[in-house]
Structure 1
Amino acid sequence: MDRLNADLLPGERLLWSGSPKRIPLLAKADVILVPAVLFFGLAVFFGVRNGFSLFLWLVLVLVAVAFFARPALRYAALRTVSYGITDRRVVVWTRGKQSASRYLKDLGPPYVRENPDGTGTVGFNLGRKDIGPVTGLEDSLAAVGLEPKHPELLNIEHPTVVRDLIASAQREAR
Structure 2
Amino acid sequence: MDLPADGLLPGERLLWWGRPQRLALARFDWYQFLFGLLWGIATIVVPVARHAPLSFLAWVVGVGGLAFAWVPVGARLRARRGVAYLVTDRRIVLVDRFSGRTRTSVYLGTLPPPVARIRRDGSGTIDFGRFLRTPVAFSPASVSFLVTGLVAVPEAGRVRDLIAWAQAGQA
Alignment equivalent of 2:36, drawn from 33, 36, 41: 33
Alignment equivalent of 2:156, drawn from 152, 159, 166: 159
Query: What's the offset of the Cα at 1:173?
Result: 4.8
Query: What's the counterpart of residue 15 of structure 1?
Result: 15
Alignment equivalent of 1:61, drawn from 60, 63, 83: 63
* Closer, same or farther: CA 146–13 of 1 in aligned 2, 3 Å: closer
Query: What's the offset of the Cα at 1:7?
Result: 2.7
Higher helix share: 1
Provide the C-alpha distance between the structure 1 equivalents of 2:81 and 2:95, rounded to a whole number of angstroms.
11
Query: What's the offset of the Cα at 1:14?
Result: 1.3
Alignment equivalent of 1:91, drawn from 74, 93, 101: 93
Query: What's the counterpart of residue 107 of structure 2?
Result: 103
Structure 2 unmatched ranges of 5 or more: none
Query: What's the counterpart of residue 81 of structure 1?
Result: 83
**2:161 partner amino acid:** D
Alignment equivalent of 2:73, drawn from 71, 74, 89: 71
Query: What's the offset of the Cα at 1:62?
Result: 2.9
Aligned residue runs from structure 1 range 44-59, under 5 A = 44-46=48-50, 49-59=51-61
**1:42 partner amino acid:** V
Provide the C-alpha distance between the structure 2 equivalents of 1:91 and 1:55, rounded to a whole number of angstroms.
43
Q: Is the Cα–Cα contact under 8 Å of residues 126 and 150 in structure 2 kept in the other structure?
A: yes
Provide the C-alpha distance between the structure 2 equivalents of 1:58 and 1:134, rounded to a whole number of angstroms.
35
Aligned residue runs from structure 1 range 125-136, under 5 A = 125=129, 133=130, 135-136=132-133
**2:92 partner amino acid:** V
Helix, strand or coil: the match of 1:9? coil
Deviations 1:83-119 (A, max 9, x none): 1011222112246321222233333321112345543
Deviations 1:105-144 (A, max 9, x none): 333321112345543111223xxxxxxx1505449x9xx9
* Closer, same or farther: CA 159–53 of 1 in aligned 2, 3 Å: same
* Closer, same or farther: CA 60–161 of 1 in aligned 2, 3 Å: same
Identity score, percent: 33
Pairwise CA RMSD: 3.1
Tell me the matched-pair count: 160
Larger Rg: 1
Q: Is the Cα–Cα contact under 8 Å of residues 24 and 75 in structure 1 kept in the other structure?
A: yes
Provide the C-alpha distance between the structure 2 equivalents of 1:55 and 1:36, rounded to a whole number of angstroms.
15
Q: Is the Cα–Cα contact under 8 Å of residues 80 and 96 in structure 1 kept in the other structure?
A: no
Helix, strand or coil: the match of 2:162? helix
